[in-house]
């Protein structure tokens, strides 16, 4: 019988401490925006007081199945992306945690199609019950569209040649259906690559981000967090690549200053809405034990004023 795929939660203790603070058995409602396999959620529940509540979100049906095994009455799970967290009541939440990484069980399951290390269906959807797979999108997308996605979401300098190779292969042999096919096409189009990095790394990242609208959903979740966080509530975000971290960094910076209306120079400024607290990287010991932690960056901010 196959053993279930395991996941090691990155920055586990640091994230939960940043979210809940130093007090014992905190009350209030907290949000885990990406349940995954429940690493953060389980530790949050251990720390929460009897009056505390934890609301988790996840698009992945396998994550929902894993969450169903938690019987704690303080816990609930929603089969939605974390962009929906803004639908919670205004100023009702004491902390929001967003772990933006793809879980190891998703990456390591060939049937999910996230990794070029295994041959499997070219899917990459976080929620396999809805939306287009990567294979379906690549079957019809134009060369310019494919190049734009690979360039913008993968920061891939060979985006043009890769896109042309994908369309040429599709025209000659039909739709590209597997991860191995796509990885071979990319390898043939990428002339040089950083030492130790597979030529397909940036392309697979780009297609996954695009097909799941990850950056758009992140922006919506950040905006939603401003609405639902109460004053003093914490926003904790763990990013794993520069595109995500840039959005988080700029969002916190944007809302960490007073805003003046140039059309009304004598009007009082709108108060800042967030206070940036810290930026944390995994320790050398954590990276040595879990290589997938090496690119992680955690940013922490605090809600400062009452939402309108």
Show binding-site residues for S-adenosyl-L-methionine: 38-40, 58, 82, 99, 106
Rg value, the chain, Cα:
21
SS (H, E, C) 221-232: HHHHHHHHEEEE
Which tokens go with 307? 């939402």
202-236 per-residue burial string, b: 16 or more CB within 10 A, e: under 16: bbbbbbbbbbbebbebbebbbebbbbbbbeebbbb
Return d(Cα 301, Cα 219) in angstroms, integer: 15
CA angle 6, 281, 84 (to 5 degrees): 65
Q: Measure the CA–CA gap between 166 and 147, rounded to whole angstroms.
A: 10
List residues forming the annotated binding site: 38-40, 58, 82, 99, 106
**How many other CB atoms are there within 10 angstroms of residue 173's CB atom?**
9
**Burial grade of 305 (CB within 10 A; 0-12, 13-18, 19 or more):** middle
Residue 89 structure tokens: 């009541």
């Amino acid at each position: 019988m196959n053993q279930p795929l395991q996941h090691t939660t990155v920055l586990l203790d640091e994230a939960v401490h940043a979210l809940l603070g130093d007090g014992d058995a905190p009350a209030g409602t907290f949000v885990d925006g990406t349940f995954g396999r429940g690493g953060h959620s389980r530790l949050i529940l251990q720390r929460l007081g009897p009056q505390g509540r934890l609301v988790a979100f996840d698009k992945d049906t396998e994550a929902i199945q894993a969450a169903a095994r938690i019987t704690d009455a303080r816990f609930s799970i929603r089969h939605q992306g974390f962009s929906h967290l803004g639908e919670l009541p205004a100023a009702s939440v004491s902390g929001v945690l967003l772990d933006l990484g793809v879980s190891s069980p998703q990456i390591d399951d060939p049937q999910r199609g996230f990794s070029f290390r295994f041959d499997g269906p070219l899917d990459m959807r976080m929620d396999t019950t809805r939306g287009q797979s990567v294979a379906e999108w690549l079957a019809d997308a134009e060369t310019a569209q494919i190049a734009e996605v690979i360039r913008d979401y993968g920061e891939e300098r060979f985006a043009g040649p890769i896109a042309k190779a994908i369309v040429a292969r599709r025209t000659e042999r039909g739709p590209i259906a597997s991860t191995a096919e796509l990885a071979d096409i990319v390898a043939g189009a990428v002339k040089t690559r950083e030492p130790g990095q597979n030529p397909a790394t940036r392309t697979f990242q780009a297609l996954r981000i695009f097909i799941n609208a990850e950056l758009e959903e992140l922006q919506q979740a950040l905006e939603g967090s401003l609405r639902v966080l109460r004053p003093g509530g914490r926003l904790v975000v763990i990013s794993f690549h520069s595109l995500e971290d840039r959005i988080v960094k700029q969002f916190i910076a944007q809302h960490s200053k007073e805003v003046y209306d140039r059309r009304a120079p004598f009007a009082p400024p709108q108060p800042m809405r967030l206070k940036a607290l810290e930026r944390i990287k995994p320790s050398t010991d954590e990276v040595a034990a879990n290589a997938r932690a090496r690119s992680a960056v955690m940013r922490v901010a605090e809600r400062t004023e009452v939402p309108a």
